Amino acid sequence: MPQVTLTVRSLSDNKVVLEGQRQSACSSCASKETCVTVSHDQSKLLRAELEANDNYAVGQQISLHCQDSFLLKAVLVMLGPALLGLVGGALLFNLLFASIFPELVDYLTFCGSAIGFVSGLILSRRLGRSLKQQLKLHLSLKATN
């Protein structure tokens, strides 16, 4: 079960803002500049804002746990439709238009893959909404001493 230790930075109503050190994989990632969780002024920090009903104190250490099966499901839901759309769109356009427009087959295959990829991303976002609601069941916060 993946686990990360974060520190409570601020509290408001039932929301808690947590910050912690990024793992070594994050610090060497090529896309850390465009990552939505990276604080641009402190790129080595991981920042999360979560709803919490427990009483936490600023400066307290929190352990964040997530089930492996949920993480695998999230990766498949977010990447699977886009990848299938990319490949499927290219194959479909190639199958449909290769014999009609043989001189434009490369361009049509590219357009088909782009349309399939974008359609897959849209589907991923829709499927991701249901995962967001399930997150509360698979994510747990525990205070560490």
pLDDT one-digit tens code per residue, 90-144: 999 999 988 888 898 899 999 999 999 999 999 999 988 888 778 777 777 677 7
- Interatomic CA distance for residues 77 and 124, integer angstroms: 6
Question: pTM of the full predicted structure?
Answer: 0.59
- Is the pLDDT reported for residue 72 higher than 80? yes
Tokens representing residue 111 in the block:
């357009």
- Interatomic CA distance for residues 16 and 51, integer angstroms: 6
Q: What stretches of 35-121 adopt beta strand conformation (E)?
A: 38-39, 42-51, 61-66
CA angle, 80 as apex, 74 and 84 as ends, to 5°? 170
15 three-state secondary structure: strand
Inter-residue contact 27 to 118 (CB < 8 Å) = no
pLDDT computed for residue 91 by the predictor: 94
